[in-house]
Structure 1
Amino acid sequence: MTYDFKTLSHPDFEDLVRDLIGRRLAVTFEAFSAGPDQGIDGRHSKAGKTTILQAKHYAGSPFSTLKAAMKKERSSIDALHPDKYLLATSISLTPARKKALSTTIGPALRDERDIFGQSDLNGLLRAFPDVEKSHIKLWLSSSGVLDRVLHAAAHAFAAITRAEIEAKVKVYAQNPSFSQSATKLEEQHVLIISGPPGVGKTTLAEMLAYAYLAEGWDLIPIMNLTDGFAAINDTKKQVFIFDDFLGRIALDRQALSMKDSELARFLRRVKSSPNARFILTTRAYIFEEARRVSEHLADHRLDVTKYVLDVGIYTRRIRARILYNHLSVAGTDSSHIRALVETGTIEKIVDHKNYNPRIIEWMTDKLHSHGIDASEYPTEFLATLNNPSRLWDIAFRNHIDARSRHLLYTLFFCQEFGEDLAEVRVSFEALHAYLCQKYGQTRDPKDFEESVKILEGSFINIRGTKISYVNPSFRDYMAGYLQDGAMLRDFVAPAARFGWANAIWRFAARSRDPGTTDPELAKAFIPIVPILSGTSIEKDAWFGAVGSGSERLEFLLQLWTHSQSDVFAEAAFAIAENPTVSWKAWRDGTNLIELTANLRDGGYYDNFPNPERLARRLESRVAEMLRSGVDTDDLELMSDAVEEAKQLLSPELIHATQTAIETEIELAGQRAADTDSESTLEERISSLSKLAPRADIPSDRLDWSIAAITERIQAIREETEKEDGPDFTPPKPEVDVFDDAQLRDLFALLLTD
């Protein structure tokens, strides 16, 4: 492919030229600063002979601009007395132009062939494709690759635009974490990107995903592990991406016990698949807390640490590049950039202990910097780094009105990855009306539309029909702001759906100290018990198809525990005994078994009215599921739960579980014929081998079933071709010395226009 190099910054272009011409000459160039009038962007010395390389990035500019620049640098070049001088430029050159440059440069240039124009550099890229691949910004910004990425991503990221992808690629500062993550992902098939908030975890995940898309892989963003299990197909090249996966799970033992075993299963599933890759991001402190309370994530047999790449520690050069890219691309006023450079603030920003790409993005964005006078810009920039919370606090408290804050409250209990505008409007109207009436605020029918206009681009994003917070850091801010019991009680009253009410309670539970209770908040849910005990499991406005019978039961039991109100106990009985409630093994089976055991075990629901009545009803629901047939994975999980709580369960439920195991083994051959995944079948063999002794299945019957599954595996192997992911050769390492002079020279480039 042919490049015009317009998407590369000056430093990016110099990096490319050093690597590319270095490969052409089979030498390694030292890197020098990108400042003006230095005459050196790369140097190679051997046996007393010195080769000087200079890069001039003037893509889109007239030839006269390059010629004038070289005329100014003639004295610097002469003073260097190089044994060999090389010039590389992004401008297209003709023989006549090279001759003119040769005259301008003078005797340091030994041969016109030592001048490399746009077409020469493209020729070298074709000759050395590994250099092209190693410069991911160049490769991803090419027209052909962008077209492939855009086409492949159309189904994955609703309403994503070419401009959005190009903008992300332009500001991305490639660093060693990219090649490290690509290598780890190929070796392990799983990559967990961990780090503090705002350090670029999602950006790195997206760059990796784009790279795979460009190579013809399918990108599948998932919001929960059920989506992943449903979509994985060993015969296709698939990259799964799960952004902030642990942030979507309440970090209490009960919640993790239901979710992390699924994560462990999916990790094993991906590792055993020849053509699946799985990228997850998580904030470091959440990941460490999850490992502390989760037996599955801490299990040495899973060894999740080998999948983890910690990001967020940047060299001084990379910090400077990130700041440079944002100032260059974001449209920051030149007067503001000059104020940073001339006051020496650039060095203070790059070296600041709170340096964070998210703060850099915010403070360089023209939308946010526009209201700050250039003379005050350096002070404001440093003040934000000194106190990152003010990034949102001042704007949230002082720059928007009450109706806009009400919309932001509403979105906090929405899906993090975006909610439908129409659904958000319904919830906003309910909350907005309640708060306006209670606090005597005015209200208008157009408040929702006006709030969206005010907030879009600064606090929220709109993509197609989806609305979400502009980035995770604002959700973090809101999590701190909303830790107020009285405020949360205000949010309960207008709840119109189970999902919203459940999100409020779960947020409050995460915010409390372990072991504490909040009876007042629990009692605030009494007026909306009909919503909590609703029996039709429909599409919930907040979380999609959730709010299952077991989730509602568990929620009501928690409210009873904290309030001791019989209203919640009666609602729990209503759900359990209502014949119209739909129960599914994949979402309810294990939960119901555990709830049954807890109702009979001391220390969980002491003083609950007639716990045996509820326990018997839940057992009958589980038995009905087992008799109707369940998937092997769900049967294994349910059997595990039965084995763990056997002393607290009835003989009838234990017998129903054994019968389900017998049926599963009997139908193993038939089900194998309908399965196209080799790794799924291998897991099924493992599951059946584990389950068979629990139902006293004779070994010959088990062997027959395993043989049928093995035969199907062999057939799939003959059909499936293993695919390797993209090979990204990292750029040549360099000694990363980046002093103040080099730092100032880099940013001086932004003042030369």
Structure 2
Amino acid sequence: MHHGGVARNYADLSPYDFELLVRDLLQAELGLRLETFPPGRDGGVDVRLHRDGSEQLIVQCKHTPGKRFSEIKGQLEREAKKVSGRFTATYMLVTTGSLTRANKIEITKIFKGVNLKEPEIWGVDDIENLLRRHPSVEQKNFKLWITSTATLQMLLHSAIYQRSSGLIDHALNQAHKYVHTEAFPISLEMLEGHHVCVISGEPGIGKTTLAEMLILHHIAEGWQAYVASEDVSDIDKVWRPNEKQIFFYDDFLGQNSLTDKLNKNEDGRLAQIIQRMKRDPSKRFVLTTREYILRQAAQVYEPLRRISAVNDDRFILKLDHYTPGQRALILYNHIYFSKLSLVARQSVIEGQLYRKLVNHRNYSPRLIELITATYEDSSSPGQTFAEYAHSGLEDPEHLWNIIFEYQLSESERNLLLVLATFPTDVLQDDLQEALAGYESVRCVRNTTSREVLSALKRLQGTFVTTMQRKIVADDELGESLATLVRFSNPSFNDYICRSLVLNPRELTPIIEGCQFFEQLETIWQWHLGLFAKSYHAHKIEEQINLTSERVIPILSPRGLAAALHRTMSRNSCQIPGTQIVNLTVRRKRFYAASRDASILKMHSDSNFSLLTNQEIEQIIERLERRVQADPETFPIDTYATRSILSLLMRSGARVAQLVRLRDQAYEVITSDMSTPDEYDEAWRLLTLEGFPLFAELEEKKNALRDEFLAFVKDWDRVKSEEAASGSECENAIEEVASAGHTLGIPYEIRTPLLDEVREQFDDEHDRHFEEYYQGSSSQNSSLRDVLNEASDKRSVDEIFETLRWGESSTDG
């Protein structure tokens, strides 16, 4: 695992982590089982060997990374006085400090009151030597090897880093606070056995952190990492046959709702890609989603349901709880590695207040992270850190309110409020334009470009993440560098939505200030109550008497309709694929038909109170122009057309007019079909629910099926000749299979040429990876064994006691 003789980064270990490392090294070296031992502050024992009724080895651990003997000598002298004459067993001292042989001789003199010999004194060089002899120990101590200098150099100076820098930086920043649970080896086993792992759980429980640790593990093992963002087709763009690639799709079903999350037919493409991953040993796929959205997806998305990817325990890891010990370690790590003062740290020890925090009903890793990150700026008069943490857990809504109202400037608050209306990563220029629109409506001074940049720097980390990407904003101007902005804490979206329930009048200036159509679509999601509550905010429930798990800001339908029409022809603010670093991204192209369909869907969801009859007639006129246009110069979007027709029928538009438009649209699409998607869409239009049946419907169905079967033969021949990999064959087969399922003839679809070519690619692929699997299986098995190995836990009280003395002393 570790390469070369470069020192490891011990500073990312807590004192407790270091004790476990020493215990594991001794067990490996001696071939005997040792235990951590909680004796209290003055015991002088961190690890011991107890055999035949007596203690045979006593180990004292001093975690002093990077310090020389002269810097820790005073600490050792104090320790020697405490233990003098207390032990007859062999005494051992292990430190992460740097020791020379002369230093060790002097230490034996300092510890003359116990049986301490020079060979039983280990400094950092001795630990390094033992880790080289026992690599399985380093594998077990995840934080040590993942942040070792050698691993970091490999990560930061490779093409992998250039491609996935944002992911690696964030993951490494989280690694030292990460607490290993059984979820890690279980998810590793899923990836090794099935190549796909869906991590589901409630907001803030640590899904993304677990996923990032899995990605880091694979990167350190030589895998290429890629992050999909808004569209699963991102993965297709960077797929490389026979290369070890791991893909990450965070919140793949959306952070708050299923509505419109998966783009047109993306559920089918996602199903295809999952099938490809399962067949390809050179690929891994990690996805995360909120648990309640996963349940919805199993009911809504038929292609996902067919492959059982969203309800199969072999693929799904439900992250639903932590043991009390794990919760305690997560809290401890966040405090230990924070910038909190010694007084703040000690406040959680008094009266064992950490127990109240660890056992709190609203405990979540995300809230703990937020609390430790914001306390020093909270300006809470007379409130200790322990009190601040408890009040934050007791009422997370109030915590967000304190941070939002008292720790941020007005321009920062406005910027975050506007950012919450964007559905995806947003260009800094677009964010500034939308901010200016909101500020103009509110009649406040517009924030300048320099002030926006300064605000983003201050908000970086706790609130937002920024990244540089190459973008083509204009084909004539070519590529340019742009800054993209996103929330780093999804809980803020929930907070904004809930705060608007209590302040509904705030919605009006937000809507009037919107500069992009997609902002208004996001606000409509808020209004529908599709942003689920992350936790119970009791004060809000009391004020608005909520009886459900949804919060619904109220808005003016006519005000929203005016804003929708105002932004109808504006460019899209969406930038798909922004996490794939080595791809140049473009602003997403918008389609008027899709926006018409979106407006009509809002009209339907509002019980038909959004649009006037005149506005509905305008949508019908636009639809007529599209259907009757020359398809070569103005191709029809059948997916959007079908949605518009269906929604117009429900809106009470003239039936005869809609039937005529449907028949015309069917003639247009069936006049020239060249993809399985188009046959799929033609069939759905032919059987459109709520419309009078086509004349000679059965004849049209049979004709479409016959034409499709003939098309499949040609598709099979052409795609088998073009295919450059087994995965391309798989994709082509899945496309016609999906359309065949829609047309009701799944068992009549035959692709013999593609099947044969895929088999040839798969055979070649299997031979190529046989050696890889033989070489890695024993190592992976060993990793699982050591990660699953039972470990003696020091008591929670003993772990938190190490916070009492700060960094200078870490007595066990």
TM over 0.5: yes
The answer to whether the 8 A contact 1:339-1:378 is kept is: yes
Could you report, residue by residue, the CA deviation over 1:490-529 in whole angstroms, capped at 9, with x for unpaired residues? 4343443332233333332344999999997443344356
Letter in 2 for 1:461: T
* Structure 1 counterpart of 2:721, from 673, 684, 697: 673
Q: Aligned partners of 2:551, 2:661: CA distance in 1, in Å?
A: 26
| Matched residue, 1:334 | 342
Q: Aligned partners of 1:289, 1:698: CA distance in 2, in Å?
A: 28
| Matched residue, 1:390 | 398
Displacement of 1:722 after TM fit?
A: 7.9
Change (3 A) 1:608 1:183: farther
1:173 aligned counterpart, secondary structure = coil
| Matched residue, 1:614 | 661
Letter in 2 for 1:429: A
* Structure 2 counterpart of 1:320, from 328, 331, 339: 328
Asked if 1:118 is matched to 2:124, the reply is yes
Change (3 A) 1:10 1:279: same
2:437 aligned counterpart, secondary structure = helix
Paired residues for 1:47-86 under 5 Å: 47-50=52-55, 51-74=57-80, 77=83, 81-86=87-92
The answer to whether the 8 A contact 1:493-1:524 is kept is: yes
Change (3 A) 1:606 1:244: same
Letter in 1 for 2:288: T
The answer to whether the 8 A contact 2:348-2:386 is kept is: yes
Given the two structures, how large is their TM-score scaled by the length of structure 1? 0.85
Q: Aligned partners of 2:490, 2:323: CA distance in 1, in Å?
A: 24
Change (3 A) 1:576 1:497: farther
The answer to whether the 8 A contact 2:335-2:345 is kept is: yes
Q: Aligned partners of 1:640, 1:49: CA distance in 2, in Å?
A: 81
The answer to whether the 8 A contact 1:249-1:256 is kept is: no
Displacement of 1:387 after TM fit?
A: 0.9
| Matched residue, 2:143 | 137
Change (3 A) 1:253 1:640: farther
Letter in 2 for 1:247: G
1:17 aligned counterpart, secondary structure = helix
The answer to whether the 8 A contact 1:56-1:66 is kept is: no
Change (3 A) 1:346 1:373: farther
Instruction: Please give the root-mean-square deviation of Cα atoms over the aligned residues, in Å.
Output: 4.2
| Matched residue, 2:37 | 32
The answer to whether the 8 A contact 1:22-1:28 is kept is: yes
Change (3 A) 1:746 1:350: farther
Any unmatched runs of 5+ in structure 1? Answer: none
The answer to whether the 8 A contact 1:238-1:277 is kept is: yes
Displacement of 1:425 after TM fit?
A: 1.3
1:119 aligned counterpart, secondary structure = helix
Q: Aligned partners of 1:583, 1:80: CA distance in 2, in Å?
A: 92
Displacement of 1:18 after TM fit?
A: 0.8
Name which of structure 1's ranges 248-257 and 485-494 shifts more when overlaid on structure 2: 248-257
Letter in 2 for 1:670: V
Displacement of 1:706 after TM fit?
A: 4.4
Displacement of 1:488 after TM fit?
A: 3.9
Name which of structure 1's ranges 195-204 and 679-688 shifts more when overlaid on structure 2: 679-688
Name which of structure 1's ranges 268-277 and 106-115 shifts more when overlaid on structure 2: 106-115
Could you report, residue by residue, the CA deviation over 1:415-448 in whole angstroms, capped at 9, with x for unpaired residues? 44x3211121122222221232xxxx45565674
Q: Aligned partners of 1:404, 1:296: CA distance in 2, in Å?
A: 42
Name which of structure 1's ranges 206-215 and 67-76 shifts more when overlaid on structure 2: 67-76
Letter in 2 for 1:22: Q
| Matched residue, 1:246 | 253
| Matched residue, 1:22 | 27
2:143 aligned counterpart, secondary structure = helix
Letter in 2 for 1:554: A
Asked if 1:475 is matched to 2:532, the reply is no
Could you report, residue by residue, the CA deviation over 1:334-393 in whole angstroms, capped at 9, with x for unpaired residues? 222233333542332233332222222222236744634576333222111111112211
Q: Aligned partners of 1:369, 1:337: CA distance in 2, in Å?
A: 15
Letter in 2 for 1:283: R
Asked if 1:8 is matched to 2:13, the reply is yes
Asked if 1:270 is matched to 2:289, the reply is no
Change (3 A) 1:90 1:286: same
Q: Aligned partners of 2:98, 2:550: CA distance in 1, in Å?
A: 70
The answer to whether the 8 A contact 2:171-2:213 is kept is: no
Displacement of 1:691 after TM fit?
A: 6.4
Displacement of 1:198 after TM fit?
A: 2.0
Paired residues for 1:452-467 under 5 Å: 452=456, 455-456=459-460, 458-464=462-468, 465-467=483-485
1:239 aligned counterpart, secondary structure = strand
The answer to whether the 8 A contact 1:11-1:34 is kept is: no
Q: Aligned partners of 2:522, 2:210: CA distance in 1, in Å?
A: 29
Displacement of 1:138 after TM fit?
A: 0.4
Displacement of 1:696 after TM fit?
A: 9.4
Change (3 A) 1:539 1:210: same
2:486 aligned counterpart, secondary structure = strand
Q: Aligned partners of 1:529, 1:107: CA distance in 2, in Å?
A: 82
The answer to whether the 8 A contact 1:40-1:53 is kept is: yes
Change (3 A) 1:57 1:393: same
Q: Aligned partners of 1:102, 1:124: CA distance in 2, in Å?
A: 21
Q: Aligned partners of 1:592, 1:236: CA distance in 2, in Å?
A: 41
| Matched residue, 2:294 | 287
Could you report, residue by residue, the CA deviation over 1:524-581 in whole angstroms, capped at 9, with x for unpaired residues? 34435655654x9x65457641533552232132244323523134225414623489
* Structure 1 counterpart of 2:559, from 508, 524, 540: 524
Any unmatched runs of 5+ in structure 2? Answer: 469-482, 532-547, 577-586
Could you report, residue by residue, the CA deviation over 1:711-748 in whole angstroms, capped at 9, with x for unpaired residues? 56556666666855883343464466554642442323
The answer to whether the 8 A contact 1:668-1:705 is kept is: yes
Q: Aligned partners of 2:138, 2:32: CA distance in 1, in Å?
A: 17
Change (3 A) 1:259 1:88: same
Displacement of 1:253 after TM fit?
A: 9.6
Displacement of 1:677 after TM fit?
A: 3.2
Change (3 A) 1:690 1:372: closer
The answer to whether the 8 A contact 2:464-2:488 is kept is: yes
Change (3 A) 1:732 1:255: closer
| Matched residue, 1:545 | 588
Could you report, residue by residue, the CA deviation over 1:309-350 in whole angstroms, capped at 9, with x for unpaired residues? 233633333333323322232211122223333354233223
Change (3 A) 1:702 1:559: closer
Name which of structure 1's ranges 687-696 and 375-384 shifts more when overlaid on structure 2: 687-696
Change (3 A) 1:205 1:528: same
Displacement of 1:618 after TM fit?
A: 3.5
Name which of structure 1's ranges 125-134 and 497-506 shifts more when overlaid on structure 2: 497-506
The answer to whether the 8 A contact 1:251-1:290 is kept is: yes
The number of residues matched between the two structures is: 737
Letter in 2 for 1:393: N
Could you report, residue by residue, the CA deviation over 1:446-486 in whole angstroms, capped at 9, with x for unpaired residues? 67456546645553333341222231111221122234765
2:349 aligned counterpart, secondary structure = helix
The answer to whether the 8 A contact 1:673-1:712 is kept is: no
Name which of structure 1's ranges 637-646 and 677-686 shifts more when overlaid on structure 2: 637-646
The answer to whether the 8 A contact 2:246-2:284 is kept is: yes
Change (3 A) 1:12 1:290: same
The answer to whether the 8 A contact 1:497-1:541 is kept is: no
| Matched residue, 1:574 | 622
Q: Aligned partners of 2:489, 2:65: CA distance in 1, in Å?
A: 33
Given the two structures, how large is their TM-score scaled by the length of structure 2? 0.79
Q: Aligned partners of 2:746, 2:186: CA distance in 1, in Å?
A: 48
Q: Aligned partners of 2:166, 2:518: CA distance in 1, in Å?
A: 26
Asked if 1:557 is matched to 2:600, the reply is yes
Name which of structure 1's ranges 38-47 and 615-624 shifts more when overlaid on structure 2: 615-624
The answer to whether the 8 A contact 1:238-1:275 is kept is: yes
The answer to whether the 8 A contact 2:177-2:337 is kept is: yes
| Matched residue, 2:370 | 362
The answer to whether the 8 A contact 2:666-2:685 is kept is: no
The answer to whether the 8 A contact 1:593-1:619 is kept is: no
